[in-house]
């Protein structure tokens, strides 16, 4: 079981390239918090991640609250804001602007991306793309909880970076759009994010904690693979500990220490995420969804779901039905 892929599918990770920006120094681009534009750019999702990829030139990028130092992006680099924070990019370090909210909407009569030309002045050129990744935040998304607010992804040392080259080719079509171009860009943005997650995991210090770090831990990672491959199984701490070759107490302590949550609590939350996806299907009853993820009682499932989400599964289903597109 590929746990990362399983989670990405379950939380409906969906990408979109929105802007192809051609700028010349001096220039600045300020992006508002995703919470203020989520309904316009990715209306089917609760959580939106912003990202930018430099195609040519360079710039500075920083969180809007300036709580972390600015980072310099070169051609081929990317910057990701997993928590959806407001941020800004500019040719001059620290230079701020004002978000233009009129830019953020989903076009109905044309394909993405929007092409923005002649941004800034008449100096050195830079070209970058801006996009978003929508995903579920509830009932449970373990990925976004464990990522930093700003992820700087340096271009691979391999000059033939396939994702970057495919992105360049796809963006080059915007002048003369071809069928499927928007979908290609969408999938490339998802691929870029997955590559960034893998790189982030590889570069984490040995003492790191959280879901991403747990994937590479021999024992906790194996426990996650077991729970994700057989989520409806009647797992107990004893059973999981036996499967990964540890004593019950040592396994319980190790899982909680690395993950920040007990193993059985994690399993319960993940089952609810899977059940939420099942509830999107009109032909699946609440009882069937509960049984499919390992609940022997519909009443117990209803209580757990309401505790986690804040609404019973029936109300959740009615609220979500119009928005779900994936």
- My answer on whether 300 and 191 are in the same domain is no
Secondary structure of residue 285 in the 3-state scheme: coil
Beta carbons within 8 Å of 229's beta carbon, 6+ residues apart? 1
β-sheet bridge partners, residue 74:
58
| Domain limits for position 304 | 212-320
- What is the per-residue pLDDT for 264? 98
Q: Are residues 141 and 279 in the same domain?
A: no
Helices 237-244 + 263-278 axis angle, to 10: 100
Smallest CA-to-CA distance from 49 within 92, 11, 100, 94 is with 11
Is there a single domain that holds both residue 163 and residue 280?
no
Per residue in 124-159, pLDDT (tens digit) is: 999 999 999 999 999 999 998 889 999 999 887 665
Tell me how crowded residue 76 is: count the other CB atoms within 10 A of its CB.
20
DSSP 126-171: EEEEEEEEEE--TTT-HHHHTS-S-EEEPPPS-TT-HHHHHHHHHH
Query: What does the pLDDT read at residue 89?
Result: 98
- Same domain assignment for residues 26 and 156: yes
SS3 state at 70:
coil
- State the Cα–Cα distance between residues 238 and 25, nearest whole angstrom: 62
Co-location of 190 and 225 in the same domain: no
- The answer to whether residues 177 and 217 belong to one domain is no
119 and 27 assigned to the same domain: yes
Q: For residue 168, what are its two tokens?
A: 């360049």
User: Looking at residue 322, what is its pLDDT?
Assistant: 61
Contact 79, 51 (CB under 8 A): yes
Is 265 a member of any domain?
yes
- Tell me what pLDDT residue 79 has: 96
Q: Which of 159, 181, 203 is the last residue of a domain?
A: 203
Same domain for 21 and 143 = yes
Query: Do 176 and 264 sit in the same domain of this protein?
Result: no
Q: What is the pLDDT of residue 136?
A: 94
Residue 323 has a pLDDT of: 56
Output the domain CATH number for residue 149.
2.60.120.10
Buried b (16+ CB within 10 A) or exposed e, 263-300: beebbbbbbbbbbbbbbbeeeeebeebbbebbbeebee
Cα separation, 113 vs 260, in Å, equals 39
326 part of a folded domain: no
Tokens of 302: 């209803």
The count of domains in the chain is 2
pTM of the predicted protein model: 0.91
**Token pair in block for residue 140:** 């449970």
Residues 156/83, Cβ–Cβ less than 8 Å: no
303/294 Cα distance (integer angstroms): 14
Q: Are residues 241 and 140 in the same domain?
A: no
Residue 325 belongs to a domain? no
CATH number, domain at 274? 1.10.10.60
Closest CA to 149 of 258, 74, 46, 71: 71
Same domain, 10 and 132: yes
pLDDT of residue 94: 95
pLDDT < 70 stretches in the chain: 157-160, 175, 322-326
Report pLDDT for 325. 47
Whole-number Cα distances in Å, 138 to 51, 217, 283: 21, 26, 22
Same domain, 57 and 106: yes
What's the mean pLDDT when you consider all of the chain? Answer: 93
What pLDDT score was predicted for residue 326? 44
């Amino acid at each position: 079981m590929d746990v990362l892929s399983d989670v990405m599918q379950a939380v409906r990770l969906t990408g979109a390239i929105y802007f192809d920006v051609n700028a010349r120094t001096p220039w600045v681009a300020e992006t508002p918090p995703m919470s203020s534009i989520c309904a316009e750019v990715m209306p089917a999702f609760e959580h939106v991640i912003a990202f930018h990829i430099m195609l040519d030139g360079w710039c500075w990028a920083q969180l809007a609250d300036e709580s972390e130092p600015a980072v310099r992006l070169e051609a081929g680099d990317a910057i990701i804001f997993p928590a959806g924070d407001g941020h800004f990019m500019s040719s001059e370090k620290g230079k701020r602007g004002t978000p233009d909210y009129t830019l953020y909407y989903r076009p109905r009569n044309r394909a993405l991306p929007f092409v923005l030309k002649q941004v800034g002045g008449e100096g050195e050129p830079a070209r970058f793309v801006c996009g978003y990744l929508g995903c579920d935040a509830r009932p449970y998304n373990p990925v976004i909880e464990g990522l930093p607010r700003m992820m700087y992804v340096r271009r691979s040392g391999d000059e033939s970076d396939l994702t970057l080259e495919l992105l360049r080719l796809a963006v080059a079509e915007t002048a003369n759009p071809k069928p499927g171009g928007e979908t290609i860009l969408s999938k490339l943005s998802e691929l870029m994010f997955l590559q960034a997650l893998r790189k982030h995991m590889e570069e984490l210090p040995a003492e790191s904690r959280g879901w991403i770090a747990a994937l590479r831990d021999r024992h906790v990672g194996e426990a996650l693979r077991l729970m994700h491959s057989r989520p409806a199984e009647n797992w107990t701490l004893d059973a999981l500990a036996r499967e990964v070759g540890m004593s019950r107490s040592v396994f319980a302590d190790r899982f909680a220490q690395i993950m920040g949550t007990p193993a059985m609590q994690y399993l319960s939350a993940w089952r609810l995420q899977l059940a939420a996806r099942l509830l999107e299907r009109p032909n699946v009853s609440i009882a069937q969804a509960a049984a499919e993820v390992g609940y022997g009682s519909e009443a117990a499932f209803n209580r757990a779901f309401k505790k986690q989400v804040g609404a019973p599964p029936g109300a959740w289903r009615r609220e979500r039905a119009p928005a779900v597109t994936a």
